[in-house]
Structure 1
Amino acid sequence: MDSCLQRLGLSALNGGAFDGAWSGNGDVVESISPINGQVIARVKQADAGDCERGIARAQEAFLKWRVTPAPVRGETVRRLGNAFRVHKADLGRLVTLEMGKILAEGEGEVQEMIDICDFAVGLSRQLHGLTIASERPNHRLMEQWHPLGIIGVITAFNFPVAVWSWNAALAAVCGDSVIWKPSSHTPLCAIAVTRIAEQVCRETGVDPAIFTLLCGSVEDVGSRMVEDRRLPLISATGSCAMGHKLAQQVHARLGRTLLELGGNNAVIVTPSADLELAVRAIFFGAVGTAGQRCTSTRRVIVHESVADALRERLVRAYHDLRIGDPLDPATLMGPLINRQAVATMIHAIRRLKREGGTVLSGGKILHSDIATVLAIEHLADEGGPFLPEDDELLREDAFPGGCYVTPCLASVTAGLSVVREETFAPILYLMKYRDFNEALAMHNDVPQGLSSAIFTNDFREAELFLSAVGSDCGIANVNAGTSGAEIGGAFGGEKDTGGGRESGSDAWKNYMRRQTNTINYGKDMPLAQGIHFGEDPAK
């Protein structure tokens, strides 16, 4: 672990603020690994003064960066992607150490960074507008796209590097600077990535403040970014509750938001489905990243004719699941991020039982003494929210062996209140349907609308699922699971998921301002809509 940290430029104590120079005048926090509850390293967070300096420096860098030709900006991003290639193994290992996802997923997340950099390089030569037919003679109507400004990026713990890259790579080629506030659970990942970006910028002669970093509290950093008019766009990933609050604050100053919030993703399994294919997709979607993806599969809506067969296959898969150290290549599921996540999961399982659901498999705390288990379960029974006096119980280093659980597979009926909520943990709800329209109604009857899937060999069912009266989610797949989106498509969802779109397709337009232009190359001044002003209409 020490050699990995050293190769990434990390030490026992690290500055958490970067605006072209490293600093950090706020509190010192510990980065604790969910694998074993041990301290990885410490970080000096940004305080309010660091935040103000960071915003000022990012604005200064933007003013120079915006007039740099876009293909030249693309060259910096190309080199950034290559640097991530060089450091892929170490970055992937750090993601696993600090976040807890298995090593294959940690390296896969770094590959996403590489892929989005490649995508952005091509995009740097395609930031095109339109030429539009004008109704006026000797006039040309067109639109063009200009850099927007400083992009505030607030990321969550579950994808500690990839989500930043979705925003930063596109924003950079669009001519913007970026200020990154990472999750307090994964500051080392952010520092390591920013150090790589700093080196690339210095090698290409670019002001490294285009990639500013502010590890800090909500009060010192988050709220100040959200309320600052110098940041025209805030891109934030997190819970639906966080998104509702943030959107009100940003929109109050008429700023823009790009929100990637909660998901309550469902898979419909029809009578014609390939069950082996469906099981593999559901299994990965439900237990991958220990159920801590916004695209994790949380609900399975299965036709009653194949429900027993699907349930039996899933129970076997859950029974054989390898849980443990995510650095072990044989492991398929690592720990939850912290003890609060464990308590939240246990509380949700207690709720589903009270509401009439049945646990078919799992839902237990692993690698802990009985006193800790009882204390966590008591706290879960209290129902939350968790209070400051619970901090000692929820302290990660008080959890022997890490935050491990067995994933929960449960049988429920539609409409339970706990099913309508997103529990950010490996809980999968199975429910039956008879009629396909009933399945669609059950699928859409949740506040969230991120990812969705159907397994069917019936062409009509597949097309109906993808139609305007089918899935109401931003992502809808046929014979593919809810989790594992590619960077080429725009990523995001509807309803309480926030409506944002990141990564591929035309998501780049979020990071630019559109300008409509009219050019009159004639000698007359005709008005649109045939309006005559101050002259004889008969002429």
Structure 2
Amino acid sequence: MTTLPTQAELAALALETARRCGVDTDALAGDVTTTSPINGLPVTSLAWQGAAEVDAAVARAQEAFLAWRRVPAPGRGALVKRFGELLAEHRDDLATLVSIEAGKITSEARGEIQEMIDICDFAVGLSRQLYGRTMPSERPGHRLMETWHPLGVVGVVSAFNFPAAVWSWNTAVALVCGDPVVWKPSELTPLTSLACHAVLQRAIAEQGAPAGLSQVLLGGPEAGEALVGHPGVALLSATGSTRMGRAVGPRVAERFGRSLLELGGNNAAVVAPSADLDLTVRGIVFSAAGTAGQRCTTMRRVIAHRSVADELTDRLASAYDRLPIGNPMAAGTLVGPLVNRRAYDAMTSAVEQALADGGTLVAGGGRALADLAPEAYYARPAIVRLEKQSDVVTRETFAPLLYVLPYDDFREAIDLNNAVPQGLSSSVFTSDVAEAELFLSAEGSDCGIVNVNIGTSGAEIGGAFGGEKETGGGRESGSDAWRAYMRRATNTVNFSGELPLAQGVDFTV
């Protein structure tokens, strides 16, 4: 039988866990109450910070930057190495806080903390690989090259669904690039944020680095708006909705700052006639129902060849019927709660609209566990079968709602994949090499992440993460995403003793 922790049990666990991570929980009293999606009840009360605190934080970060940029990159990597070691020590504690505040099942919460450890490993190696190029000069006795330098203060605005990992993607890379970070986390996950910050502050103290390298600001829209508009923030990395991005992007551009925007996703999998359906079903179910559908990379559309659409739909419906829904901290649970009532209402509205557009509900839908937790919102992951991609399908619904659509021709499937405003993640399930290569080509998926025979979610830190179109166009994490956190200088060195001009220009006086 499913049971949920009481308010007192969950609040006590959250505070004790945060304390073990180094948070001064005795100083947390405030007038803003946060709740847990597990039972919908209060966890703690905190004080919110506003624009004045943002100004002070950016000033402290700028002071730290002036010292930190002089530290050789491998020395900066030593701090990140220690941070990764401390994250490993507190892996279970941080995962517990992620579960309490974001509602993630235990294995996914631990996976998020492992992702933090992994990006630290990546960044440590990166600290010795911040390469510039040497290019041939057209002028004799000259050397042409580029160098990369620390950029400045990095502001991070993160969302509830990855309350720790997204911050770490930015922070680990920013620190080895020579930049301090000011973090405005989601209002829904403050204890997770404070605990992550405390762990990094311990590493900073142990390494003798400037304390202002890492700061966290708990606050509402006022704090976020102040950080976005602050002229002292060289790079603003924001994760959230496309609506948020429309406000953030122009504000940063207006002051000639840089921005990394990780916004909405409306991700699809194309399922070809040659697909291994056993593998396909497993890949779809995790991508669509994992994290209760609350990932930006969640699969929201399945575009299946008409010859396999019926069988695939039946298999998915059967798998959905077996998904254990309940306390995300309990063993065996695969689907935890939605973050709040607004998320559940949005899912309900989207299902109703899809049915009005001619769709058929083939699995799930509706609320679960309402008798156990009337203030929490557990939803049964839903599948709606449609004959065409209606307007509701082109909108992102941040919940476990999956649409199944048929196709006849592979290029038609590609067109359906691309016929949404978002462009984050996509996948194709096929055994046909030509189809796989076409999907990966310039004529194929227009997304930033394009997979073959795996789902749309679960990206590794080694690759650059991000999307196109209304997803924002930013790239974080691996590959060469580090370049966003540095400034490039092109250098010409003349050792010839002469002064020839480029392009053969003659300016002899």
Band of TM-score, shorter chain:
over 0.9
Question: What does residue 258 of structure 2 align with?
Answer: 256
Question: What does residue 84 of structure 1 align with?
Answer: 87
1:532 aligns with 2:502: no
Question: What does residue 491 of structure 1 align with?
Answer: 465
Give distance in 2, aligned partners of 1:448 and 1:249: 21
Residues 242 and 470 in structure 2, CA contact (< 8 A), matched pair in contact too: yes
SS in 1 for 2:324: coil
Which letter maps to 1:356?
Answer: G
* CA apart distance, 1:12: 5.4
Aligned equivalent of 2:404, options 430, 447, 460: 430
1:6 aligns with 2:19: yes
Question: What does residue 165 of structure 1 align with?
Answer: 168
**RMSD (Å), alpha carbons:** 1.4
1:179 aligns with 2:153: no
Give distance in 1, aligned partners of 2:452 and 2:389: 25
Which letter maps to 1:195?
Answer: A
SS in 1 for 2:130: coil
Residues 12 and 41 in structure 1, CA contact (< 8 A), matched pair in contact too: no
| Matching of residues 302-317 of structure 1 within 5 Å | 302-317=304-319
Give distance in 2, aligned partners of 1:471 and 1:293: 20
Give distance in 2, aligned partners of 1:14 and 1:115: 32
Aligned equivalent of 1:210, options 201, 210, 213: 213
In structure 1, runs of 5+ residues without a counterpart are: 16-23, 370-397
Q: 1:209-259: per-residue Cα shift (whole Å, max 9, x none)?
A: 10111111211x111111111111100000011101110101011111101
* CA apart distance, 1:402: 2.0
Give distance in 2, aligned partners of 1:12 and 1:121: 31
Give distance in 2, aligned partners of 1:7 and 1:129: 42
* CA apart distance, 1:412: 1.2
Q: 1:46-94: per-residue Cα shift (whole Å, max 9, x none)?
A: 1222111111101111111111111110000000000000000110011
1:416 aligns with 2:368: no
Residues 35 and 100 in structure 1, CA contact (< 8 A), matched pair in contact too: yes
Q: 1:261-319: per-residue Cα shift (whole Å, max 9, x none)?
A: 00000000000000000000000000000000000000000001111110111011000
SS in 2 for 1:79: helix
SS in 2 for 1:271: coil
Residues 327 and 336 in structure 2, CA contact (< 8 A), matched pair in contact too: yes
Question: What does residue 101 of structure 1 align with?
Answer: 104
Question: What does residue 243 of structure 2 align with?
Answer: 241
- Once the two structures are overlaid, the 10-residue window that deviates more, 224-233 or 144-153, is 224-233
SS in 2 for 1:336: coil
Q: 1:404-436: per-residue Cα shift (whole Å, max 9, x none)?
A: 010110001333000000000000000000111
Question: What does residue 21 of structure 1 align with?
Answer: none
SS in 2 for 1:453: strand
Which letter maps to 1:511?
Answer: Y
Question: What does residue 386 of structure 1 align with?
Answer: none
Give distance in 1, aligned partners of 2:256 and 2:277: 49
Q: 1:305-358: per-residue Cα shift (whole Å, max 9, x none)?
A: 111110111011000010000001210000000111111111111111122111
SS in 1 for 2:491: strand
Which letter maps to 1:190?
Answer: S
- Once the two structures are overlaid, the 10-residue window that deviates more, 204-213 or 177-186, is 204-213
Question: What does residue 331 of structure 1 align with?
Answer: 333
Residues 474 and 492 in structure 1, CA contact (< 8 A), matched pair in contact too: yes
| Matching of residues 211-230 of structure 1 within 5 Å | 211-219=214-222, 221-230=223-232
- Once the two structures are overlaid, the 10-residue window that deviates more, 523-532 or 76-85, is 523-532
Question: What does residue 357 of structure 2 align with?
Answer: 355
Which letter maps to 2:441?
Answer: S
Give distance in 1, aligned partners of 2:123 and 2:181: 15
Give distance in 2, aligned partners of 1:195 and 1:10: 6
Give distance in 2, aligned partners of 1:340 and 1:257: 28
| Closer/same/farther in 2, CA of residues 292 and 13 from structure 1, 3 Å limit | farther
Residues 153 and 236 in structure 1, CA contact (< 8 A), matched pair in contact too: yes
Q: What is the TM-score of this pair, normalised by structure 1?
A: 0.90
In structure 2, runs of 5+ residues without a counterpart are: 1-12
SS in 1 for 2:155: strand
| Matching of residues 101-140 of structure 1 within 5 Å | 101-140=104-143
Question: What does residue 4 of structure 2 align with?
Answer: none
Give distance in 2, aligned partners of 1:199 and 1:12: 16
- Once the two structures are overlaid, the 10-residue window that deviates more, 157-166 or 34-43, is 34-43
Count of aligned positions: 496
Residues 19 and 25 in structure 2, CA contact (< 8 A), matched pair in contact too: no
Residues 13 and 41 in structure 1, CA contact (< 8 A), matched pair in contact too: no
Give distance in 1, aligned partners of 2:428 and 2:332: 30
Residues 438 and 444 in structure 2, CA contact (< 8 A), matched pair in contact too: yes
Give distance in 2, aligned partners of 1:66 and 1:185: 33
Residues 324 and 333 in structure 2, CA contact (< 8 A), matched pair in contact too: yes
| Matching of residues 459-474 of structure 1 within 5 Å | 459-474=433-448
Which letter maps to 1:510?
Answer: A
Residues 14 and 44 in structure 1, CA contact (< 8 A), matched pair in contact too: no
Give distance in 2, aligned partners of 1:267 and 1:481: 7
1:296 aligns with 2:298: yes
| Matching of residues 373-388 of structure 1 within 5 Å | none
Residues 264 and 449 in structure 1, CA contact (< 8 A), matched pair in contact too: yes
* CA apart distance, 1:13: 5.5
Give distance in 1, aligned partners of 2:24 and 2:348: 36
Q: 1:157-213: per-residue Cα shift (whole Å, max 9, x none)?
A: 000000000000000000000000000000111000001111111111111210111
Give distance in 2, aligned partners of 1:239 and 1:249: 16
Question: What does residue 7 of structure 2 align with?
Answer: none
Q: Between the two proteins, what is the percent identity of the paired residues? A: 54
| Matching of residues 435-474 of structure 1 within 5 Å | 435-474=409-448
Give distance in 2, aligned partners of 1:142 and 1:246: 34
| Closer/same/farther in 2, CA of residues 514 and 473 from structure 1, 3 Å limit | same
Give distance in 2, aligned partners of 1:281 and 1:29: 40
SS in 1 for 2:104: coil
1:73 aligns with 2:76: yes
Give distance in 2, aligned partners of 1:10 and 1:66: 28
Which letter maps to 1:458?
Answer: D
Aligned equivalent of 1:145, options 143, 148, 154: 148
SS in 2 for 1:263: coil
Residues 13 and 43 in structure 1, CA contact (< 8 A), matched pair in contact too: no
Give distance in 2, aligned partners of 1:190 and 1:308: 45
Residues 130 and 143 in structure 1, CA contact (< 8 A), matched pair in contact too: yes
* CA apart distance, 1:30: 1.7
